[in-house]
Amino acid sequence: MSVLVDKNTRLVVQGITGSAGGFHARQCMEYGTNVVAGVTPGKGGQKFDGKVPVFDTVDEARRETGCNVSMIFVPAAGAADSILEAAGAGVELVVCITEGIPVMDMMRVKAQMAGKKSRLIGPNCPGIITPGACKIGIMPGYIHKPGNVGVISRSGTLTYEAVWQLTSRGYGQSTCIGIGGDPINGMSHLDAVKLFNEDRETEAMILIGEIGGSAEEEAAEWIKANCKKPVAAFVAGMTAPPGRRMGHAGAIVSGGKGTAAGKIDALKAAGIAVAETPATMADTLIEEMKGGKK
Amino acid sequence: MNIHEYQAKELLEKFGVATPPGKVASTPEEAEQMARELGGNDLVVKAQIHAGGRGKGTFTNGFKGGVHLCKSPKEARELATKMLGQTLVTHQTGLAGRVVNKVLVAKSAEIAREIYFAILLDRASAAPLIVASTEGGVEIETVAEKSPAKIMREPVDPLAGLQAFQTRKLAKQLAFDSAQLKSASKLFDGLYRTFIACDCSMVEVNPLVVTKKGEVLALDAKFNFDDNALYRHPDVAAMRDIAEEDPREVEASKHGLNYIGLDGNIACLVNGAGLAMATMDIIKFYGGSPANFLDVGGGATEEQVTEAFKILISDKNVKAILVNIFGGIMKCDVIAQGIINAAKTVKLSVPLVVRLEGTNVDAGKKLIAESGLAVIAADDLADAAQKVVKAAGGKK
């Protein structure tokens, strides 16, 4: 009942000996994630917390442990290289938490990963979690609950808000994917929607977007033509002044494109229920589910 | 980050992009001296501020126009006297205007025609994209709207870079004649190299001109730099002019906070950019008006929260404050302690609404309850927004 990650996931943590990497690797392990390896160049041969083997390269970690998903906490200056290292070693899913990566680095990463079988989530994202089975990232585990709603979001804390609303109302999540707020990232809203649409255990989806770019519009168009599951959405940034960058590099509005109003119109035109405020994301979806949409 | 016109000119010259000869001056005496060095009787004096519409702007001393042609060093000095130290108001500066600390004295080009040429990082294709038009010197948005056929787009392969044939193709599409092909291609190539080498998110030349003598020059250039990449460009970072920025934003950035000042009266302190925007949205939804965007980030310390609070309180328009935290990495007790510390150092004269959720929420709530601070506690996001709008004096 999930997409991309589950009980069988074998995780390698790149940057495991750093303070953030170590802290969150431990949190993931406590949640039940199977962390099989760590990578920090120059620290090969050490054991993290006395049990997880640390390697110098992802290539070795992959050969020695069969890790199939990577979580990256490497500082921004080296993160693009780390993503390509994981992809080059054949790791199937690369989850990059690091924020502040220069956009040109991501442009080159994206071009080099095109056509390869590795998928990228992020960067500048909270990660991915299949509640009760596998947590990869920095989200607080306890707010989640196993269930059947897929959550896709560009923003971290706004995802927690949606998840908490669902959990408090008794609705669990199949998998929650934070795709990240950067202008150039890996998996898009649409990629995640397609996965959830095919997942038998996912019954409905919440799509959380924000101003900038056209990823929400693309997902809306596809949903209109192909998706039979109830979908609710929220777009942050109605009140953002044009031309200003608000935290996420993704959250920039310029030249009248990528506005919240434009995105909301596109989502509504696709038959998606759009929450009026961030406080009603779960309620909007629950109403759609009860209405027996389509 | 943005830079001044004179800095853009210096940067472009480094990459072999032709610009009209010119020099920057900080005093009327310097302006006269620069004009003398440039020679001739075809000069232009331009006020240096980070805003467009300078030519049509007005100084608060009544002097009209931030861009003037002049014919002699003496005249350049007179113009600089009227501009330097004065506040220029344009349609982009807002009513407060910007103080002019420098003027650019340059040779005025005899323009035969004007072209628009920009390179930006296109997020849809995740690659550089060149956008150009024969209709330069005007607002490109208007051209795009009225005659979209006159806008050309040339995508660039992110790994291979701009190819020579593409610069020739663009030159012909932009109606350069065969004799100008080489200089146009060279200029486009130089702009692209500047764009890549300096980690720009946009370089916009408007106008790029052909002079009556047939020279091809970048007359005015606007740069946007990727702030995330400034660490590897100390020369670019050194061009930052904090006098051009909102002092609250400058203060916030010193403490690693992401703050943007707005016009409303409800201050917000939130963790996470998406939630911060959503919080502004819900305040507006319930009839209030946000005074700022403030993201304290994922791992803020007590000190950062205290500093954030000081910045919020310094805004005289603020009638109420909303703290909305969904703790993930950020722990609610850290936020609570930051608020308490701030309240000790700064007199809290407006109502404070606090909504805490997530990691260590109980410890956070307990700290605030025991602090004796007059805090209006909120249960959820909608409750918090309604309470803060009411506290600020109701719907506007």
Most B-contacting residue of A27, A125, A142, A157 (CB-CB within 10 A), to test interface? A157
Quick: pLDDT tens for A132-155: 999 999 999 999 999 999 999 998
The residues that bridge with A120 in the sheet, in sequence order, are A94
- A279 to B358: CB separation less than 8 angstroms, yes or no: no
> Does pLDDT of A250 surpass 50?
no
Mutate: best of A26, A83, A104, partner B, most B CBs <10 A: A104
pLDDT of residue B6: 95
Residue B73 pLDDT more than 60?
yes
Coil vs helix vs strand at A217:
helix
Contacts of A106 in chain B (CB under 8 A): 126
Burial of A66 (0-12, 13-18, 19+ CB in 10 A): exposed
**Tens-place pLDDT, residues B386-395:** 999 999 997 6
pLDDT digits over A87-116, tens only? 999 999 999 999 999 999 999 999 999 999
Whether residue A292 is predicted with pLDDT greater than 60 in this model: the reply is no
Asked if pLDDT for residue A253 goes beyond 50, the answer is no
| Residue A249 pLDDT class (50, 70, 90 cuts) | very low
Q: Indicate the angle between helix axes B273-285 and A156-168, nearest 10 degrees.
A: 60
- CB < 8 Å from A in window 126-145 of B: 126-128, 141
CA distances from B197 to A37, A64, A144, B117 (A): 37, 39, 44, 18
| Beta-bridge partners for B224 | B202
CB contact under 8 A, B293 and A210: no
B206 lies within 8 A of chain A by CB: no
Q: If 0-12 CB within 10 Å is exposed, 13-18 middle and 19+ buried, where does residue B165 land?
A: exposed
- Per the CB < 8 A criterion, the answer to whether A147 and A131 are in contact is yes
pTM score of the predicted model:
0.91
Kindly report the average pLDDT of chain A as a whole number: 92
What is the least distance, in Å, from the CA of A224 to any CA of chain B? 20
Rg from Cα positions in chain A: 18
End-to-end CA distance of chain B: 34
ipTM: 0.89
| Number of residues that this document lists for chain B | 396
Q: Distance between terminal CA atoms of chain A? A: 22
Q: How confident is the model at residue B396 (pLDDT cuts 50, 70, 90)?
A: low
Partners of residue A276 in chain B, C-beta under 8 Å: 285
For residues B327 and B337, is the Cβ–Cβ distance under 8 A?
A: no
Residue B278 backbone phi and psi in degrees, to 5: -65, -35
pLDDT per residue as tens digits for the range B3-26: 999 999 999 999 999 999 999 999
SS3 A262: helix
